[in-house]
């Protein structure tokens, strides 16, 4: 596989971890309880740890003295290939949990396939990440149930979050060019194959949480092509602030 394509393929996975990790890290110290604060920080730490493994691999592939930080902080918005779902803002705890659940269910399914990648670095990262993400999914799923089958207010809030964020789920299963090539070479995962099982499992849990399944025919897309929502620019302005303001320094 061409190096350039492999790098693009990795961005398609790693950038999700970075952006969601960043979003969760914004919440640190502001959660509804110390216990959820600690748990969400753990998830953020796992995701950022995964991000580093992927980007270190990209840095190795690209050579030229690139570092994980060049890759994390010095790309333009259009070069980040994360899905729209993960950049959605921390509107409230219902949004945070729903975003997490909708992503975790996909993420675990992806990693379960990626652990069989022909690329040894990727399959090793995936094997390690599976344990972490299984925990994420249990945590977010449990909370969706608590909120859905909790009080009237919590049900209403989480239902609203599900309805809003649902439109970003379809994109998870779109194949980019880099994906198709990686799939053809036995390196990448054919995410389109994960779709049916994903919606099955997600719907099952939403039903258990006594929530309604949205019946949207229309979905949003663009992140995988680097066309993000207007939230992304502000996220990046913070994320990149130091690296941009003080270029070429060691921290």
Partner 1 sequence: MSEAQIRNLEEIFEQRIARDEKIEPKDWMPEKYRQTHIRQISQHAHSEIVGMLPEGNWISRAPSLRRKVALLAKVQDEAGHGLYLYSACETLGISRNELYDQLHSGKAKYSSIFNYPTITWADIGAIGWLVDGAAIINQVPLCNTSYGPYARAMIRVCKEESFHQRQGYEIMMTLCKGTPEQKEMAQDALNRWWWPSMMMFGPTDDMSTHTEQSMKWKLKRKTNDELRQQFVDQTAPQADLLGITIPDPELEWNEEKGHYDFGEIDWDEFWQVVKGHGPCNKERLSARVNAWEEGEWVRDAAMAYAKKQQDKKLQNVG
- In angstroms, give the least distance from the CB of 2 to partner 1: 21
Number of other CB atoms surrounding residue 229 within 10 Å: 16
Is 162 among the residues that bind partner 1 (CB under 8 A)?
A: no
Instruction: Please identify which residue in 145, 166, 179, 205 interacts with partner 1, judged by CB under 8 A.
Output: 145
Q: For the chain, give me the number of helices (H) and strands (E)?
A: 11, 0
Q: What are phi and psi of 161, to 5 degrees?
A: -65, -45
Site membership for partner 1, residue 186 (CB under 8 A): no
120 versus 217: smaller Cβ distance to partner 1:
217
Q: Does 79 bind partner 1 (CB under 8 A)?
A: no
d(CA 244, CA 49): 22
| CA distance linking residue 82 with residue 228, whole number of Å | 8
Per rule CB under 8 A, is residue 11 in the interface with partner 1? Answer: no
Burial 81-114 (b: 16+ CB within 10 A, else e): bbbbbbbbeeeebbbbbbbbbbbbbbbbbbbbbb
Tokens at residue 230, please?
A: 């207007």
- Binding-site ranges for its own copies (CB under 8 A): 76, 233-234, 237-238, 240-241, 244-245, 247
Q: Minimal CA–CA distance to 16: which of 36, 59, 46?
A: 46
Backbone angles phi, psi at 90, to 5 degrees: -80, 60
Q: Which CB, 138 or 241, lies closer to its own copies? A: 241
Residue 251, contacted partner among its own copies, partner 1, none, CB below 5-8 A by kind = partner 1
**Would you give the binding string for partner 1 spanning residues 83-122, x where CB under 8 A is met?**
---------xx-----------------------------
CB-nearer residue toward its own copies: 200 or 247: 247
Q: Confirm or reject binding of residue 227 to partner 1 (CB under 8 A).
A: yes
Looking at residues 41 to 70 of the shown chain, list those that interact with partner 1 (rule: CB under 8 A): 41-42, 44-45, 48-49, 51-52, 55, 68-69
Residue with tokens 């914004």: 26
Per-residue b or e along 181-220, where b marks 16 or more CB atoms closer than 10 Å to that residue's CB: bbbebebbbebeebbeebeebbeebbeebebeeeeeeeeb
Q: Which residues bind partner 1 (CB under 8 A)?
A: 22, 25-26, 28-38, 41-42, 44-45, 48-49, 51-52, 55, 68-69, 72-73, 76-78, 92-93, 145-147, 149-151, 153-154, 157, 164, 167, 216-218, 220, 222, 227-230, 232-233, 237-239, 241-243, 246, 249-251
């Amino acid at each position: 596989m061409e190096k350039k394509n492999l790098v693009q393929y990795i961005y398609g996975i790693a950038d999700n971890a970075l952006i969601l990790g960043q979003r969760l890290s914004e919440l640190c110290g502001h959660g509804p309880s110390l216990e959820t604060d600690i748990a969400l920080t753990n998830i953020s730490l796992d995701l950022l740890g995964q991000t580093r493994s992927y980007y270190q691999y990209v840095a190795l592939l690209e050579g030229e003295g690139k570092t994980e930080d060049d890759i994390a902080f010095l790309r333009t918005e259009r070069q980040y290939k994360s899905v729209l779902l993960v950049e959605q803002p921390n509107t409230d705890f219902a949004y945070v949990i729903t975003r997490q659940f909708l992503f975790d269910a996909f993420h675990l399914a992806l990693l379960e396939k990626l652990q069989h990648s022909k690329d040894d670095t990727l399959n090793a990262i995936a094997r390690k990440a599976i344990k972490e993400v299984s925990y994420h999914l249990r945590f977010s799923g449990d909370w969706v149930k608590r909120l859905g089958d909790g009080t009237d207010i919590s049900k209403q809030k989480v239902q609203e979050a599900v309805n809003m964020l649902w439109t970003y789920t379809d994109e998870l299963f779109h194949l980019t060019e880099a994906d198709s090539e990686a799939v053809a070479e036995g390196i990448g995962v054919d995410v389109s194959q994960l779709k049916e099982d994903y919606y099955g499992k997600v719907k099952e849990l939403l039903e258990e949480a006594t929530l309604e399944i949205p019946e949207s025919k229309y979905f949003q897309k663009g992140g995988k092509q680097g066309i993000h929502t207007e939230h992304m620019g502000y996220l990046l302005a913070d994320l990149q602030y130091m690296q941009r303001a003080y270029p070429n320094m060691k921290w």
